[in-house]
Structure 1
Amino acid sequence: MADMQPLRIFAEDADDLTVISASVQDAVTKAENLRYESRQRRFAIELNRFRWEEVAGKKKREPKTRIRSLLAIDGVLSVKARGVSKADPDMVFSLLSITFTPAEELPGGMITLLFAGDGELALEVEAIDVSLLDSDYEWTTRHTPSHERRKR
C-alpha cells in the first residue's frame, strides 16, 4: 500500500492547529469514538483519516488510503456540543475543520470542531495542546472526499 510514514503532529499555536485541521479534513468517526475525560482534562477522537498528504501527484482513479488516527486535545476545561450527540453510538460524523478562537486572556481560548451537517463541538482550553497520531492500520479507498455537491 502506501509507503508513507504515519503522521505524528503536535500543535501548540493556531498555525500548528491549521496543519492538523487540514490533515483531518473529511475524517470520519462514530459517536461512540468521541471521548471527554474530565479528570484528565482530555478530549480524544478515534478517526478514520483520509490521507490528503498522499493525493498530490496521484491520478484521479488511483487508489487512495484512509488510516486510523487519534486526535487528542489536552487542557480541556469544558465541552459544549451543538448537533453532535452520542445517543446513537453508530452515528457517523465527518470532521470538516478545527479552529481556535483566543480568549481575552491568552493562552486560553476555544477550539471548535466543525462537522458536516452543522454539528459542532466547542472545547474551552487552557492553551492549544493538540496531537494527531496515526496508527499502522490503513486501507485502500477509491473514494476521494468532495465538497462540490454539498450546499449549505
Structure 2
Amino acid sequence: MTDLKLIALDIEDLQIISAHVQDAVVRVADMGYARADRRFALLMNRFDWTSVGGRRSKGLRKRAALHFDAVGHVAYAGFDPNAADGVLELLAITFTPADAPAGIIELSFAGGGTIRLGVDYVEARLTDLGAAWAAAGQPRHALD
C-alpha cells in the first residue's frame, strides 16, 4: 500500500489531485485558512479508488492532508464554516483562471456546499498521512 505525495502546479495537476480526493470525508473543524501564511489546509479521510479490487472489495480510506498556497481570500457557501461538528463530502476541485496565473480554486461538496479560494497561482499538495482502514462501503453516485 503506497502513500500518495502529489503536488499541483497547473490545472492538469489539480485535476489529478481532484480525482484522488473524490468522495473524501472532511470535518469542518479540520479545515482552515492561515491568513498570515496565505495557506488554506484541510485534513480528510479520502477514499482510495486504487484499492478497489474485485466485486467484494469495498476499498480503503486513508487519512490525508491537502493544502493550497498563495491564497488571498476564502469564501464559503452552502454550509456553516463555524459548525465544528459538520461533516462534508468532497466531490471535486476545479480551477477557473482570472488574471493568469491567478484564479479561483473551487472545492465542491455534496449537497451544494462550496469553498472558493482566490489564488495568485495554482499550488496544492496532497499527502497521505499513513493511517488506512477498510472502508465501510464504496461511494456511489446517482447518474442523472
TM-score bracket, normalised by the shorter chain, equals over 0.9
Amino acid aligned to 1:36: Y
The residue number in structure 2 matching 1:112 is 106
Q: Out of 78, 81, 104, which is 2:76 matched to? A: 81
Matches within 5 A, 1:117-132: 117-132=111-126
Matched, 1:27 2:21: no
Which range moved further: 80-89 or 18-27? 80-89
- Report the CA distance between 1:106 and its aligned residue: 1.1
- Report the CA distance between 1:10 and its aligned residue: 0.2
Inter-partner Cα distance in structure 2 for 1:91 and 1:147: 21
- Report the CA distance between 1:87 and its aligned residue: 2.8
Amino acid aligned to 1:7: L
The residue number in structure 1 matching 2:47 is 50
CA RMSD of aligned residues (A): 1.2
Inter-partner Cα distance in structure 2 for 1:119 and 1:41: 22
Calculate the TM-score normalised by the size of structure 2.
0.96
Secondary structure, counterpart of 2:37 in structure 1: coil
Structure 2 stretches lacking a partner, 5+ long: none
Amino acid aligned to 2:97: P
Q: Identity across aligned pairs (percent)?
A: 40
Alignment: residue pair count = 144
Structure 1 stretches lacking a partner, 5+ long: none
- Any conservation in 2 of the 1:51–1:65 contact (CA below 8 Å)? yes
Secondary structure, counterpart of 1:81 in structure 2: strand
Amino acid aligned to 1:26: D
Secondary structure, counterpart of 1:86 in structure 2: coil
The residue number in structure 2 matching 1:18 is 15
Secondary structure, counterpart of 1:117 in structure 2: helix
Matched, 1:38 2:35: yes
Inter-partner Cα distance in structure 1 for 2:82 and 2:122: 29
